[in-house]
Amino acid sequence: MGIVDRRQMMAALAGAAQEPVYRVDVRLVRILATVRDAQGALAGDLGREDFQVTDNGVEQEIAVFERQSAQPLSVAVLIDRSRSTQRERGYELTALERFFRALVREGNAEDETALYSFNYEVELQAGYTRRLEKLAAALRRLKSEGATALYDAIYLASRDLERRSGRRVAVVVSDGADTISRTTFEEALEALHRADAVLYALLLVPVKGEAGRNLRGENALIQFCSGTGGKMYYPAAPRALDEAFAEILRDLRTQYLIGYYPKNVPPAKERYHRVRVTVKRDGYVVSARTGYFADEIR
């Protein structure tokens, strides 16, 4: 190769190196959506054409749509076993056992659930399974003691959910007060989004009245739920705990799975993309994730 040829080649390589490289996020953004009508009843008969999805304000084309999704569920149940939750432990465990039974017997034959417990540390008490005896035995082993690592539990369970196929859900039973986590609120929320997981929370107040409420922790749980399309429950009596679990199951049985590939979304400084899912007809309310973290934005 002559000197001129080498110079031309080096100039071409230098020019190519100076050109900015843009990565396009081609991953499918998955959204689990629950829809209620004006009377608050679950609406499970809508079609693809009834929905509108925007990503950072730009309308998107719905590439995947499933009504009452037949995809199997992976449900991570995270139970707070810190000392502050000891008062209602007996009925709480009984209600959870009934929830597991209904989840396994009434849904998809491939639905599975896992049980995590957390106080000052997070423990996987039972890996994903349909074996009710294994779940019941894990519940019986739980004892209330120590502090509360709520964010650590959400983060670790989300990382496990991310590796699961189908629909992914987390159910947290806690008084909401994180006292010892190494994980931050923001890191836990991002982990939920990366897992495409919906979070439901049942807030157990350890002491009756306002004195027993941890407003900071309660607000954090509200944000986890609203940001992922889940719901917050305040079961004030034992029967209300069963009712909350039953409503969660009804939601899961009537969810819509909506997916799209982000297109024509302008570059933004923030990694977080704001997503909005609406029904074009009047009177419907959609519960769905409010955004996702882009893998890379240039």
Residues in contact with 193: Cβ distance below 8 Å, sequence separation at least 6, in sequence order: 227, 228, 289, 291, 292, 293
- Domains detected in the chain: 23-68+255-293 (no CATH), 73-253 (3.40.50.410)
Name the band, by pLDDT with cuts 50, 70 and 90, for residue 147: confident
Q: Return the minimum-mean-pLDDT range out of 143-152, 169-178, 209-218, 284-293.
A: 209-218
Q: Return the minimum-mean-pLDDT range out of 6-20, 82-96, 133-147.
A: 6-20
Q: Is the pLDDT of residue 133 over 90?
A: yes
Average pLDDT, stretch 46-60? 97
- The average confidence (pLDDT) of the chain is 86
Q: The whole model's pTM is what?
A: 0.85
